[in-house]
Amino acid sequence: MTPSKKILVTGGAGYIGAHTVVELIAAGYEPVIVDNLSASDRTLLKGMERITGRKPNFHEGDCRDKSFLRDVFQTEGPIQCVMHFAAFKSVGESVQKPLLYHQNNIDSLLVLLDVMQEFKMTDFIFSSSCTVYGQPDVIPVNESAPFKRAESPYGATKQICERILEDIYPTGFRIVSLRYFNPIGAHPSAMMGELPIGVPNNLVPYITQTAAGLRKKLTVFGNDYDTPDGSCIRDFIHVVDLARVHVKALEYLQHERHSKLYDAFNVGTGKGVSVLELVNTFIRSTGVKLPFIIGPRRPGDVEKVYADPAKAMDALRWKTQYSLEDAMKHAWAWEQKLRASHSED
């Protein structure tokens, strides 16, 4: 019997999930999307159809709803692997609504694993985050660095989820946790990109919305950090490079014969880039004006963090292809496309 090419993608209507669906289709897989549209709408689902010419099966529902998930697994039949993107991700909001974050991010994982076990499914890829490290002592940070106290309830949910995965894998799961650093940019076709609801929290959508005139100015949160230009340092990775690592993680799980497995990988470029450097790269690569001021530090921000991605490059045979300039150009093209489509409405 030919093994199933179906990959269940929870949160597939969101930013990273949608880009991953496109890469899965390009690699010959058959993604099936589950999303409750709580932090997204159908825009990226339409975008992925335009890019791929395919319409993946979409099940609208909540990962915390066991009977809904059972229905999905029954309807779809054999599924090779589950990729679990569905979660809330706003650091600031998690401080205001910690219970909501713990409920959504942890319950959805627990219910999903429970139903997977019921259906004798083993292979699982989890969206983790560099936030699990807190402010690491050694940078670039590698996967063996200890988890410091999480800076936010969001960060705590990712630490707890990884702990759950480590605890349950000996009962017959094969699990990869991917610790994303800072995903940015958009699909080169400008058919998909980041789609924040309301005022963006993350840097790049704030930059592009300011450049487009939706926001008056960008505030750079702090220039008195212990870094060369005083602004925070991050590891910004193009979302398509990030999406592609999921295909590599799938291949890794296929080749690994172990019946029980748990492994975590950093997914970053290995380059630390400051917020001011990123702002200047945007201006330089797009030629667009970007009004910005320096403001106070944002509570909860880590001063500097970037990845040692050697483990993923080696074991998953993956490397990044896009530059920071590409990411800025693609993010700007996506923003312009969004503005054009809104002005048509």
Chain contacts with ligand NAD (rule: CB under 6 A): 10-11, 13-17, 35-40, 62-64, 85-89, 104, 108, 127, 129, 180, 182-183
| Burial class, 263, CB count within 10 angstroms (exposed 0-12 / middle 13-18 / buried 19+) | buried
CB neighbours of 121 closer than 8 A, spacing ≥ 6? Answer: 73, 79, 82
CB neighbours of 293 closer than 8 A, spacing ≥ 6? Answer: 217, 218, 219, 220
Q: Give the footprint of ligand UD1 on residues 220-259 (CB under 6 A).
A: 220-221, 232, 234
Give me the residue whose beta carbon is nearest to ligand NAD. Answer: 14
Which of ligand NAD, ligand UD1, none sits in contact with 301, Cβ below 5 to 8 A by type? ligand UD1
Which of ligand UD1, ligand NAD, none sits in contact with 232, Cβ below 5 to 8 A by type? ligand UD1
What are residue 285's phi and psi, to 5 degrees? -85, -20
Residue type (1 letter), 245? V
Among 109, 130, 273, 327, binds ligand UD1 (CB under 6 A): 130
Q: Which two tokens stand for residue 250?
A: 């799938």
Structural element, H or E, at residue 246: helix 239-255
Should residue 195 be labelled a site residue for ligand UD1 when binding is judged by CB under 6 A? no
Which of ligand NAD, ligand UD1, none sits in contact with 203, Cβ below 5 to 8 A by type? ligand UD1
CB neighbours of 203 closer than 8 A, spacing ≥ 6? Answer: 182, 184, 275, 278
CA 188/CA 331 separation, integer angstroms: 9
For the CA atoms of 136, 142, 143, 145, the dihedral, rounded to the nearest 10 degrees, stands at -40
Which of ligand NAD, ligand UD1, none sits in contact with 223, Cβ below 5 to 8 A by type? none
List the catalytic residue out of 154, 225, 262, 322: 154
Nearer to ligand NAD, 200 or 222 (CB): 200
Instruction: Provide the minimum distance between the beta carbon of 304 and ligand NAD in the complex, in angstroms, as a whole number.
Output: 16
Contact string (CB under 6 A) for ligand UD1, positions 303-322, x = contact: --x-----------------
Which of ligand NAD, ligand UD1, none sits in contact with 227, Cβ below 5 to 8 A by type? none
Q: Which two tokens stand for residue 260?
A: 């029980």
Q: Is 262 a catalytic residue?
A: no
Instruction: Give the residue numbers annotated as catalytic, written as ranges.
Output: 154
The footprint of ligand UD1 (CB under 6 A) covers 89-91, 129-131, 182, 201-203, 206, 218-221, 232, 234, 275, 298, 301-302, 305
